[in-house]
Structure 1
Amino acid sequence: MSEGQSTILVTGGAGYIGSHAVLALKSAGYEVIVLDNLSYGHRELVEQVLKVKLIVGDISDRALLDQLFTSHNISAVMHADLAQAHILGLEYLLKGGDNAAFNLGNSSGFSVRKVIETTQEVTGKPIKIVECDRRPCDPPVLVGSSDKARNVLGWHPQYPNLKEIVTHAWQWHQRRHGAYFSREVPELASEGIRETRETTEKKYFSS
């Protein structure tokens, strides 16, 4: 940021998508606070890898939110599904842009069957499939267009290919739930964290 730093509250920032948003916000020069109830998030990811302030709580806790907004100068709240797109949207609003809705589809449709087949291919694991009749009123084809986001925000999907999307997500979860703490970065399993933040972030978030 060119003039000071804005503080952004990221809800759900201790999970897969949220942590990527936090990393991108930090890289863009923002101060970040994470609010997460840790039902699916990971404390050590926020505190030891991202190294930002973590508030453990739920967004339905009005008293906690009042205290949070009273004690911190928060410029915006972000609940992230696509990190870079959210940052572009945030900067658009902070610069005075009008409130608007943006579709973040990649303009390429994937059927449920294709997603399952690709996931099985990437993970090498079988997925139980239950065949059902089409639901009433389901459209035969429904594909989201991101033309508005591309034209107004300058956003382009980083991973437009389905296999890339699944592979990226699978690699992250393998690092987090697989051998990450025990083998790849054993230092994080003990009290002495010797790796630099940059090295750790690269191992944790690189595709």
Structure 2
Amino acid sequence: MKSSILVVGGAGYIGSHMAKMLAQSGHDVIVLDNLSTGFRDAVRYGRLIEGDLADQALLDRIFAEDDIAAVLHFAALSQVGESMREPALYYRNNVANAQNLLDAMLRHHVRRFIFSSTAAIFGEPESTLIDEQHPQRPINPYGRSKRMVEEMLADYDSAYGLRSVSLRYFNAAGADPEGDLGERHDPESHLIPLVLQAASGRRNHIAIYGDDYATPDGTCIRDYVHVWDLCSAHLLALEHLLADGDSDAFNLGNGTGFSVQEVIDTARRVTGQPILAQTQERRPGDPAVLVADSRKARRELGWEPRFEDLGTIVEHAWEWEKSMTRFGEVHRGGNNNP
């Protein structure tokens, strides 16, 4: 039986891109998703199993019926504000369900796991460039839930020999360069798709939360990494584990950062649309600069991002936005329904 890669949360933004890259790399792909935030029509590469990580009988059946070589986890809830209002939901889904998955893996002797982690584990930054040694002081339940899983993974490696790689994202952005897949969140909270929704007419304006930061143009600087480059890091991490590599963790970003104003100006140039921007009050807890130091991933995984230029990231996202809309008319083909 040919071994497969299980992509949990593979109907979502990053997971669906990962399934495509795995399939194009010759892997047999199985996607497990409960479609609570993912989209059935995003699973174009691999076999979809609709189900939840809370269903231990389903997990046992998947591992019993298929020869799973490794598991990639993209199934966490990720809205910071929601995690503050509903922490129980986040600990149940992000922590308890992750443990269900890890325990099922152990029962079926699968010991390679790649975890989609986050820069939110670091909390308020103590330096503008954040490397893997930066203190971890998450300030919300979302970040704490991710840190808990990373700690769990270290213990599972020590006790049970389950090897893992945790990849900490800063700001995933862009869309499939071939236009097959893209970003669809409801509600949307990421800057680049919000700006492009203002360009396409899906929203009236884009808000700039503070223009008086200690940055060249006064707006916050953030690190945007193309979703396809994120997936390439996961593929390298998978190859590392398949070659019996040790557990590890890596920060993923472009290492430079772009300001909110730069993103808006780039989107205006790419789209040819005016894009109304309105400056509002700063949001509490927004640091001026938040950028990843990803030299370890480049050095130890051999990660070489292809799409570091902001214009290219926005161009790919704009092609996806245009496919989803006709300047204000939302395309209804993509939803959670069968």
What TM-score comes out, normalization by structure 2 length? 0.45
Distance 1:61 1:171, change over 3 A: farther
Hey, what's the Cα distance between the residues in 1 that align with 2:58 and 2:276? 40
Hey, what's the Cα distance between the residues in 1 that align with 2:48 and 2:276? 35
Equivalence map 1:81-120=2 (5 Å):
82-120=230-268
The alpha carbon displacement at 1:86 in A equals: 0.4
Hey, what's the Cα distance between the residues in 2 that align with 1:140 and 1:84? 29
Question: Could you say what secondary structure the match of 1:170 adopts?
Answer: helix
Q: Structure 1 residue 163 and structure 2 residue 308: aligned?
A: no
After TM superposition, the structure 1 stretch with the greater mean CA deviation from structure 2, 141-150 or 79-88, is 79-88
Q: Which of 32, 35, 39 does residue 38 from structure 1 map onto?
A: 35
Q: Structure 1 residue 20 and structure 2 residue 17: aligned?
A: yes
Q: Structure 1 residue 11 and structure 2 residue 8: aligned?
A: yes
Hey, what's the Cα distance between the residues in 2 that align with 1:127 and 1:93? 47
Specify the alignment match of 2:155 in structure 1: none
Question: Could you say what secondary structure the match of 2:262 adopts?
Answer: helix
The alpha carbon displacement at 1:6 in A equals: 3.4
Distance 1:154 1:5, change over 3 A: farther
Hey, what's the Cα distance between the residues in 1 that align with 2:236 and 2:57? 30
After TM superposition, the structure 1 stretch with the greater mean CA deviation from structure 2, 77-86 or 93-102, is 77-86
The alpha carbon displacement at 1:134 in A equals: 5.6
Hey, what's the Cα distance between the residues in 2 that align with 1:6 and 1:106? 33
Q: Which of 55, 62, 65 does residue 71 from structure 1 map onto?
A: 65
Letter in 2 for 1:172: W
Question: Could you say what secondary structure the match of 1:13 adopts?
Answer: coil
Specify the alignment match of 1:55 in structure 2: 49
Hey, what's the Cα distance between the residues in 2 that align with 1:115 and 1:62? 43
Q: Is the Cα contact below 8 Å between 1:7 and 1:32 reproduced in 2? A: yes
Q: Is the Cα contact below 8 Å between 2:9 and 2:15 reproduced in 1? A: yes
**Structure 1 stretches lacking a partner, 5+ long:** 180-207
The alpha carbon displacement at 1:139 in A equals: 4.2
Equivalent pairs counted in the alignment come to: 171
Hey, what's the Cα distance between the residues in 1 that align with 2:309 and 2:50? 35
Hey, what's the Cα distance between the residues in 1 that align with 2:297 and 2:36? 31
Distance 1:66 1:160, change over 3 A: same
- Identity among equivalent pairs (%): 50
Q: Structure 1 residue 148 and structure 2 residue 296: aligned?
A: yes
Distance 1:120 1:155, change over 3 A: same
Q: Which of 277, 282, 285 does residue 133 from structure 1 map onto?
A: 282
Hey, what's the Cα distance between the residues in 1 that align with 2:54 and 2:266? 36
Distance 1:139 1:6, change over 3 A: same
What TM-score comes out, normalization by structure 1 length? 0.69
Distance 1:88 1:122, change over 3 A: same
The alpha carbon displacement at 1:178 in A equals: 4.3
Q: Is the Cα contact below 8 Å between 2:4 and 2:67 reproduced in 1? A: yes
Q: Over aligned residues, Cα RMSD in angstroms?
A: 2.7
Instruction: Give the structure with the higher percent helix.
Output: 1
Distance 1:58 1:119, change over 3 A: farther
Letter in 2 for 1:159: F
**Structure 2 stretches lacking a partner, 5+ long:** 75-115, 117-226, 327-338
The alpha carbon displacement at 1:64 in A equals: 2.5
Q: Is the Cα contact below 8 Å between 1:13 and 1:19 reproduced in 2? A: yes
Hey, what's the Cα distance between the residues in 1 that align with 2:318 and 2:52? 27
The alpha carbon displacement at 1:117 in A equals: 3.9
Instruction: Give the structure with the higher percent strand.
Output: 2
The alpha carbon displacement at 1:151 in A equals: 0.8
